[in-house]
């Protein structure tokens, strides 16, 4: 009986594994192969050119600028999102006052969780429309309208949020943080609710304050959740194509003004669709994949520590 179960299990795994190999692994292998050719996309003819595409990438000023922007997102998106989500989750679960020694959330915490999570149910298309109105460069834009009412700017000279080279990247960063904080707030809240309240009460009886409770009790017990959040947010930081392409000016797929919001994905799509340099674009895709895998592995290795049982 023991040996008969293996063909039974293999029968269930065969179809999903075959589909995964055909629709996921095989396109990756094809992309890797095309990156060594001069393929132009619509043509079936291609010539093997070795690593010329990869050499050209690192002398391409636009690609190097886009790489720098992605690295900026890799630093700020996980750090800012996780810090804000941790703060709000702590306040909503442990930051209130009451008869239970302060081990409860602030008043109305279930409502706040729903409100914080709401942005996560919005699609990228809705986000683009929403923040297109927020960042409008005239007095009809939400931000400019508020600033004009407060007499911080004039109606004649509103702020060009998405057309200002010094502001456009930070505007995209603000959208990403606003979009993802609610999701990780809920994730950290679920992890905090699994921590026995006896631990918090013991810390409070020993004289621990709010900050000591957070850094010495909550943070160590949430380390696994934070590690997972960091990896996924790193992937988010590498994949901001939809927001950049829909919100920013530029020649096909955004990236403007003058490549100041360019990311690797927008440069890839421009080379593939507009310039017909498909083999070159495939090399960019391989670099994005390798960079994502390497950074995820480094994050998991650096943040690894002994599991705390409770």
Q: What is the pLDDT of residues 223-241, one digit of tens each?
A: 888 888 988 898 888 888 8
Residue 131: per-residue pLDDT: 93
pLDDT, tens digit (0-9, with 9 covering 90-100), for 52-77:
999 999 899 999 999 999 999 998 99
The dihedral sign for the CA sequence 221, 227, 233, 237: positive
More confident of the two residues 89 and 8:
89
Maximum separation of any 2 CA atoms in the chain, in Å:
82
pLDDT value at residue 251: 65
Place of tokens 């790193």: 234
CA distances from 2 to 10, 12, 14, 310 (A): 14, 17, 20, 36
Q: How confident is the model at residue 253 (pLDDT cuts 50, 70, 90)?
A: confident
Burial of 208 (0-12, 13-18, 19+ CB in 10 A): middle
Contacts of 185 (CB under 8 A, 6+ apart): 85, 88, 89, 92, 113, 116, 117
Q: Which residues pair with 48 in a beta bridge?
A: 37
Q: Which domains does the chain have, with CATH numbers?
A: 61-302 (1.10.3720.10)
pLDDT in tens, 79-134: 999 999 998 888 887 766 554 445 566 777 788 888 888 888 888 889 989 999 99
pLDDT band at 284 (very low <50, low <70, confident <90, very high): very high
pLDDT at 96: 60
Structure tokens at 80: 């800012």
For a pLDDT cut of 70, what percent of the chain falls above it?
A: 90
Reported as a pLDDT band with limits 50, 70 and 90, residue 2 is low
pLDDT of residue 12 exceeding 90, the answer is: no
pLDDT for 310 beyond 80: no
Q: What's the pLDDT at 197? A: 74
Instruction: Kindly report, residue by residue over 153-212, the tens digit of the pLDDT.
Output: 888 888 999 988 999 999 999 999 999 999 999 999 888 888 777 777 777 777 777 777
pLDDT of 3 > 70? The answer is no
Distance, in Å, from the CA atom of 109 to the CA atom of 24, rounded to the nearest integer, reads: 41
The reported pTM is 0.84
């Amino acid at each position: 009986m023991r040996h008969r179960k293996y063909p039974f299990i293999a029968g269930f795994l065969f179809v999903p594994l075959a589909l995964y190999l055909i629709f996921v692994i095989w396109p990756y292998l094809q992309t890797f192969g095309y990156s060594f050719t001069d393929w132009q996309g619509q043509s079936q003819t291609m010539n093997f050119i070795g690593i010329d595409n990869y050499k050209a990438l690192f002398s391409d000023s636009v690609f190097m600028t886009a790489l720098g922007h992605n690295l900026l997102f890799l630093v700020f998106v996980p750090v800012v999102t996780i810090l804000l989500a941790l703060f709000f989750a702590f306040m909503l679960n442990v930051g209130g006052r009451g008869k239970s020694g302060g081990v409860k959330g602030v008043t109305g915490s279930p409502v706040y969780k729903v409100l914080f999570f709401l942005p996560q149910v919005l699609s990228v298309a809705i986000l683009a429309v929403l923040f297109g109105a927020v960042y409008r460069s005239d007095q009809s834009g939400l931000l400019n309208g508020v600033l004009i009412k407060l007499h911080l700017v004039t109606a004649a000279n509103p702020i060009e949020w998405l057309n200002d080279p010094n502001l456009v990247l930070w505007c995209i960063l603000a959208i990403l943080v606003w979009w993802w904080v609610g999701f990780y707030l809920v994730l950290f809240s679920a992890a905090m609710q699994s921590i026995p309240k006896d631990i918090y009460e013991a810390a409070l009886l020993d004289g621990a304050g709010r900050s000591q409770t957070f850094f010495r009790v909550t943070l160590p017990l949430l380390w696994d959740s934070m590690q997972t959040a960091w990896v996924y947010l790193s992937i988010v930081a590498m994949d901001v194509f939809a927001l950049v392409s829909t919100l920013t000016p530029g020649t096909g797929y955004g990236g403007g003004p003058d490549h100041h919001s360019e990311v690797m994905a927008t440069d890839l799509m421009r080379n593939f669709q507009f310039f017909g340099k498909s083999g070159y674009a495939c090399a960019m895709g391989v670099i994005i994949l390798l960079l994502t895998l390497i950074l995820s592995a480094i994050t998991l290795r650096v943040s690894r520590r002994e599991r705390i049982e409770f």
